[in-house]
Structure 1
């Protein structure tokens, strides 16, 4: 059943397809009772809203990890740069104000916990088991590997690891996300559950 949202989701900047968003919500809903969720790479909050709505249903929380200064492709002069999100005064790409506005519009302030720092800083002293981790941060190989190494080990047994932007063919998209997806499978700690468009869902064994 399609999720009814309190806002027009098309107004929220982001790169999540409709079928991917619905799958993210459905799988988050299936595990949120077991513990909190965490996403890496919130941008303006589109995926956070779907995860947050699932957590709201199950009295859980989602930790949203993002330094909010954009990945390589969001910087001035790059392919995915959005001038509306560029803070010319400080000379930085800055998505945090837009993120907070979208979370507030969906009444998810008590559900979503923003962690505004690089992935490795947030993970340094992390000890809480997570029912689901969604990785959609920087798409360079170094960034994707870093996010995977920081957070995959915190997924509880039976919990889920979701990875966005899986493109088997290099001409369709960057190879770092599918690289860490394959790494997860090769580790023997995860099994494939579903592929929805470019979203991969794995379960921790």
Structure 2
């Protein structure tokens, strides 16, 4: 991975450990030239930079989808709330300006397009086949399942599905992404690798 991009990714606001980010980059770099990478759950763009570096190496494109109002666990009173991401005018979370700065500083806007909206709404009208789908949106059971249902049908045959924050043991974290993993395994995907909480799967059916 490009050293400058790696350093910017590691310094960006977010929750992607370096080893998982490196695995994300490797998967993106394997996408066929001209392919589309779709990220569901952008936050401030940390994981987006790993995907962008891989996409640039592969000759692919990244689309990242987020409503930028923060997931449930990012809201005031929750463990992962960051008050610096609250818009003082509205009192609401707003990570979009931070994403813009992340992409501009890294100079990856030639390979990354940000789509602002709820993933399940965008997924309804989406029509372009996806070579790699990275799911890292809301972690409630309802939202994680909604993200999966909205986007999994767009993954092309042989395409990759990456799921973040998979914790089989409830003592380690929430179970919603793990349940999405189990569903994907039952619906035509095979697991390819594990790095920390990141699982990489391939569509075989």
* TM-score bucket of the superposed structures, by smaller chain: over 0.9
1:191 corresponds to = 190
1:143-177 deviations in Å (ceiling 9; x for gaps): 00001001111111111000000111101100000
1:38-72 deviations in Å (ceiling 9; x for gaps): 00001010110011111112222111000000011
Distance, in Å, in 1 between the alignment partners of 2:98 and 2:71 is 16
After superposing the two structures, state which structure 1 stretch, 91-100 or 30-39, moved more: 30-39
Gaps of at least 5 residues in structure 2 are none
| TM-score using structure 2 length | 0.95
Distance, in Å, in 2 between the alignment partners of 1:157 and 1:85 is 38
1:50 corresponds to = 50
Q: Tell me by how many angstroms 1:9 deviates.
A: 3.0
1:45–1:102 contact (8 Å) kept in structure 2: yes
Distance, in Å, in 2 between the alignment partners of 1:10 and 1:49 is 9
Distance, in Å, in 2 between the alignment partners of 1:120 and 1:101 is 26
Change (3 A) 1:3 1:196: farther
Change (3 A) 1:83 1:32: farther
Gaps of at least 5 residues in structure 1 are none
1:123 corresponds to = 123
1:64-91 deviations in Å (ceiling 9; x for gaps): 0000000111111211110110112111
1:32–1:54 contact (8 Å) kept in structure 2: no
2:18 corresponds to = 18
Distance, in Å, in 2 between the alignment partners of 1:137 and 1:129 is 20
Aligned partner of residue 42 in structure 2, secondary structure:
coil
After superposing the two structures, state which structure 1 stretch, 49-58 or 14-23, moved more: 49-58
Distance, in Å, in 1 between the alignment partners of 2:22 and 2:32 is 15
1:120–1:147 contact (8 Å) kept in structure 2: yes
1:74–1:82 contact (8 Å) kept in structure 2: yes
After superposing the two structures, state which structure 1 stretch, 5-14 or 108-117, moved more: 5-14
Q: How does 1:98-109 map to 2 (within 5 A)?
A: 98-109=98-109
Aligned partner of residue 63 in structure 2, secondary structure:
strand
Distance, in Å, in 1 between the alignment partners of 2:192 and 2:8 is 30
Q: Tell me by how many angstroms 1:33 deviates.
A: 1.8
Change (3 A) 1:32 1:17: farther
2:171 corresponds to = 171
